[in-house]
Structure 1
């Protein structure tokens, strides 16, 4: 419990900027140190708060994935963090939302097999939480435009391509970010974009 609590408190301090939320982190950390069933409940509430109060919802899953801990308790806390982050993150394309849903489902399958030590109420709560998050992601995927492959034949600046695709040169950063291009001056002749 102590190692997971240390990891989760560290993530909270990395992701949360609001002083009131950080005070709540401290209170939940003290409650979690009590151990037992109430300690696990406080730990899961700390995981929820970390995700809900994080300044950048998109960075939350990356932060959880960087953690090097294979304990069942950490995987359970990580699932809570990721589920709450999923409903706050932005998904520009259908495929982005579908990938997030698949990742949560895979994470949940592992946790479900390990959570029995924490009681049936914990398992039921985690299954409900995962169900809400995956339904939200399914609905979001259905509402988003698909990502498509664009072929230009020549390298052009991202601003020109954004204007040609969307009528908005301001969306050039979106093309650069989606394709992980180091410079916006010359985009590759084949790249991915959200369908207009």
Structure 2
């Protein structure tokens, strides 16, 4: 049974709306997705990878990177096809955000590596027909992991902060960095759901 084009295209359409911010790129993506059901199998595979590349190259925020994931509805050959697209997409996208900390960059690198392994396992099932794709995806995954490692080396380390009393994130941001505008980033690193009442023990960037 072939991969379900409808599931793949719906997934790509949802990602494009959520991640692609350039109006011209989004309009082009929408038109290409609308035309994709009628093209032959080989062309569809190439088009799906091309669409995934545009989405990945539009990733600028950490939340966008996190959106690149298998849809719940995918299974069998459809899941394999999406795994291949994700392997490529995460490798491209992982090098784009300004990772705020070493742990976040390392988590991204781990995710890129894992997605690459899943993708090449899916490609391996294609036999000789997937040899070029296997080599290409293995290469870009390795390059992406090296680049993210470099980004991790330049990112700020994370420290534990203990306050003894709950304080607003703006106050803590000013105390830690001299800049209350960094409160949102402080909340994200700490994983706090209540910016006005931060935990008394939390993770924060060292600088």
TM-score by length of 2: 0.83
Which residue pairs with 2:55 in the alignment? 50
2:19 paired with 1:22: no
Q: From the superposition, tell whether residues 123 and 35 of structure 1 become closer, same or farther in structure 2 (CA, over 3 Å).
A: farther
Runs of 4+ deviating beyond 6 Å: none
Per the TM alignment, residue 44 of structure 1 is displaced from its structure 2 partner at its CA by 0.5
Moved more, 33-42 or 109-118: 33-42
**Which of 151, 165, 180 is the matching residue for 2:162?**
151
* Unaligned segments of structure 2, at least 5 residues: none
* Unaligned segments of structure 1, at least 5 residues: none
2:68 paired with 1:64: yes
Moved more, 22-31 or 38-47: 22-31
2:196 paired with 1:176: no
Instruction: String of CA shifts for 1:5-25, please: whole Å, max 9, x gaps.
Output: 332123213322333212332
Per the TM alignment, residue 170 of structure 1 is displaced from its structure 2 partner at its CA by 1.9
TM-score by length of 1: 0.88
CA–CA separation in structure 2 for the residues paired with 1:76 and 1:140: 25
Instruction: String of CA shifts for 1:143-175, please: whole Å, max 9, x gaps.
Output: 112111111222222222222221222212211
- Aligned residue pairs total 195
